[in-house]
Structure 1
Amino acid sequence: MTENPGILITLFAFLITIGLLVFIHEMGHYLVGRWCGVKADVFAIGFGKEIVGWNDKRGTRWKICALPLGGYVQFAGDMDPSSSQSQEWLKLPPEERNRTFQSKSLLKRAAIVFAGPAINFLFAILILAGFALAYGESVTSPVVGTVAENSTAETIGLKNGDKILEIDGDSIDRFSDLSREISIIPDEEVEIKFERDGAIISKEAKIGVRLEEDRFGNQYRIGLLGISPGSIERRDVSLLESPVVATRQTVEIVDLIVTTLGQVISGRRSVTELGGPLKIAQVSGEQFVAGLNQFIFFVALISINLGFINLLPIPMLDGGHLMFYAIEAVRRKPASPMVQQWAFQSGFALVVMFMLVVTFNDLASFGLFRVFSG
């Protein structure tokens, strides 16, 4: 029998997850903006109608809005998506103009934009560093202990004592590296390189598939090689080491995101596996009732995803702004307002289309269309 966290717990967990991460993201923009001398007119969590708000002594309007699916910081003078130097901006008094976003150097503007995704990564690293400090890290060697019958490992002749070196050219240093690599490539052909008695052996293999269902009824296709380690090894992590361990884990998670995104683009993974806000809400509730550690780790994963997505070079996202700043640095002048406006309109259309796709996927996964179709 599957568990259901309930609508109230799901909504509560979702608001905590999204509200916290959006606040952190926008706070990155806000703090670096202030450090660069830019006035913030609005700091908003959510979109649409304002539910509650207040003005601080610097003239910034802090508000919480009705649609909790994002947020924004509106800097002084930031009057359009491309932040161009409009005629309206040119008419501002010099002192007021100097406190606007457009008045700052290219480097400062880029720093303000980059700060949002950067702080999402830093927040995740802080969480993962705490886990490393509390529980240590796995250092189990990728050496075969046992081989499952009728598995991929048995098919290619892996034996006790063999050490896995590479999966499709990716170096394997620990058993956790092996598990991570294999889990996201079910039913795919790969080259496995391993060492036996000092000799290096390469084999072509098709990764097996294990269907798993969690306590909430969610089903997953997991890649399976069919080996287990001879022994499990963990080591304590010091306070100074923990950020290093956490940073490495964050890089590994980003690598997984890039790999799975590449699989969707190439057609090796179905686009229906992409989830949106409704799916995040569902998983938020599930992880919340699963335990505090699971929920905190989930928040770290979403923070990394939020940072990564915002760095994609799509106009309307932070990465799109950074792309235009890179063009400006090369050309020694910004792209024309017409080009920027066209690009940001196209980027907005792309983001809307993506949201429609993932929302359709979410509704389909919840069985809504099966209900309507009878």
Structure 2
Amino acid sequence: MTTVIAFILMFGLLVFVHEWGHLIFAKRAGMLAREFAIGFGPKIFAFTKNETLYTIRLLPIGGYVRVAGEDPEIIELKAGHHIGLEFNDEGKVNRIIVNNKSKHPNARVIEVERADLDHRLVIEGYEVDEDEKLFFEVDPKAMFVLDEKETQIAPYDRQFASKTVPQRAMQLFAGPMMNFVLAIVLFMILGFVQGVPSDEAKLGEIQDNSPADQAGLMAGDEIVSIDGESVSTWEGFTRVVREHPEESLLLTVNRNGSTEQVEVTPAEVTTDRDESIGQVGVKRAFEDSFAKKLTFGFTQTYDWTALILTNLGKLVTGQFSLDMLSGPVGIYDATDQVVQTGLTNFVMWMAILSINLGIVNLLPLPALDGGRLIFVGLEAVRGKPIDPQKEGIVHFIGFALLMLLMLVVTWNDIQRLFL
């Protein structure tokens, strides 16, 4: 149950921050954000505030912000439609009753001849069995009422396409950007809570009954050399240990100003990739530097971003296979293992996943933020937008392929766990 709660909180936070970035910059640009959703599929919770419907949906595989103009409008008034109109105190139409007009006895029923709800905000038509043409001004925040559900109209100046290239690019980039900001904040919190990991080859906590404990190593020992080879960094120390499982190593350590010789044999451990590595059971030492704590969030986010991009490059070049990717099932299993190691590791895991989410969404693939940014960039170069229908087809195909990839990765996760 602890893992389930942790996974839900982690998933909710990562998706919320990402979509909140899209939402805030959409509203700052004057776009009408119709819906802010966490998850996909059927709604399990919903409320409306400041023009936006906020929903939590059943399937925890992402989220979205639905901005007016990104998709075709659900309701379109055409000539011959019979609609009901209700008016505000200024005499402008504020509710357009599309059907079930009998439930609105005060509505003025007309037959539509022409409607422009994008630019002029007018409806032209005739009352039933009357010949006089009527013109009605429409309030910019008027509501369609279809099956007794209200949907706000979206004049062109509230639509995504009406905004400048920089405004649209920023709205698309804001989601991944907020994931990087979240990672910075989480790493910074870790820095202030537990200190900043030392770059020196200095030992922190020693695990009970580990090879290091049995050899007599102590917290605070600084590794000077291994088998006569000088060692000055934690990465250098761990690399040698990993490369020599079940092999005796002679460590020269600096302990409280004096030099001592300690012999230790790393235990052999098999990783998730079936690699045999050595471990001695020690943790990294931490520094209590205020300046390093302030910068820790930025340095860690940069380092992890570089590492993830390197691994993505290996995936493209075939050095990694799809079998090494994880979907929701694999992430849940990894979260279960991380939760058991403590809160600080869980917070670090969230920060790493937030960076992953930011990077993946910036990939130049259709349906992702990066793919949509490519189309905005092409518009900036061409001086005119790509045909919306063609762009929509590209994103639809991309989304379908991404869902197929998700199914393949999830199946691989299930095989690794249960087969």
Same fold (TM over 0.5): yes
CA distance 1:224–1:308, shift in 2 (3 Å): same
Partner of 1:60: 52
Provide Cα deviations, 1:185-220, integer angstroms capped at 9, x if missing partner. 9xxxxxxxxxxxxxxxxxxxxxxxx6435xxxxx34
Q: State the alpha-carbon separation in 1 of the partners of residues 393 and 235 from structure 2.
A: 45
Partner of 1:137: 196
Q: State the alpha-carbon separation in 1 of the partners of residues 362 and 236 from structure 2.
A: 25
Provide Cα deviations, 1:265-312, integer angstroms capped at 9, x if missing partner. 333333212110111112223322332112111111111111111010
Partner of 2:187: 128
Q: 1:307 aligns with which of 354, 358, 370?
A: 358
Partner of 2:270: 212
Q: CA deviation at 1:259?
A: 2.1
Amino acid of the structure 2 residue aligned with 1:259: T
Matched, 1:108 2:167: yes
User: Where in structure 2 are there 5+ consecutive unaligned residues?
Assistant: 74-114, 121-139, 141-154, 203-225, 244-267
Q: 1:235 aligns with which of 287, 292, 295?
A: 287
Partner of 1:190: none
Partner of 2:222: none
SS of 1:69's equivalent in the other structure is strand
Matched, 1:76 2:135: no
Matched, 1:160 2:228: yes
Q: State the alpha-carbon separation in 1 of the partners of residues 4 and 159 from structure 2.
A: 37
Amino acid of the structure 2 residue aligned with 1:36: A
Amino acid of the structure 2 residue aligned with 1:265: V
Q: CA deviation at 1:101?
A: 1.7
Q: 1:251 aligns with which of 286, 302, 306?
A: 302
CA distance 1:211–1:329, shift in 2 (3 Å): farther
| Greater per-residue strand proportion | 2
Partner of 2:325: 274
CA distance 1:32–1:99, shift in 2 (3 Å): same
Contact 1:211 1:221 in 2 (8 A): no
Amino acid of the structure 2 residue aligned with 1:107: P
Contact 2:34 2:67 in 1 (8 A): yes
SS of 2:332's equivalent in the other structure is helix
Q: CA deviation at 1:250?
A: 1.0
| Greater per-residue helix proportion | 1
**How many residue pairs align between the two structures?**
301
Provide Cα deviations, 1:318-344, integer angstroms capped at 9, x if missing partner. 111111111112222222335413421
Contact 2:196 2:293 in 1 (8 A): no
1:85-100 equivalence runs, <5 A: 91-93=117-119, 96-100=155-159
Q: State the alpha-carbon separation in 1 of the partners of residues 54 and 11 from structure 2.
A: 17
Q: 2:337 aligns with which of 268, 282, 286?
A: 286
Q: CA deviation at 1:80?
A: 5.1
Higher RCO (CA < 8 A, seq sep 6+):
1
Q: CA deviation at 1:224?
A: 5.7
Contact 1:45 1:68 in 2 (8 A): yes
Contact 1:316 1:344 in 2 (8 A): yes
User: Where in structure 1 are there 5+ consecutive unaligned residues?
Assistant: 1-7, 82-88, 144-157, 165-173, 186-209, 214-218
Contact 1:52 1:64 in 2 (8 A): yes
Q: Which deviates further from its counterpart, 331-340 or 43-52?
A: 331-340
CA distance 1:90–1:292, shift in 2 (3 Å): farther
Matched, 1:30 2:23: yes
CA RMSD of aligned residues (A): 3.5
Contact 1:126 1:243 in 2 (8 A): no
Amino acid of the structure 1 residue aligned with 2:304: I
Q: CA deviation at 1:127?
A: 0.6
State which structure, 1 or 2, has the greater radius of gyration over its C-alpha atoms.
2
Q: State the alpha-carbon separation in 2 of the partners of residues 287 and 293 from structure 1.
A: 9
Q: CA deviation at 1:159?
A: 5.9
Q: CA deviation at 1:260?
A: 2.1
Partner of 1:50: 43
Partner of 2:405: 354
Q: State the alpha-carbon separation in 2 of the partners of residues 177 and 121 from structure 1.
A: 28
CA distance 1:34–1:223, shift in 2 (3 Å): farther
Partner of 1:153: none
Amino acid of the structure 2 residue aligned with 1:317: L
1:148-227 equivalence runs, <5 A: 160-162=228-230, 174-176=233-235, 211-212=269-270, 219-221=272-274
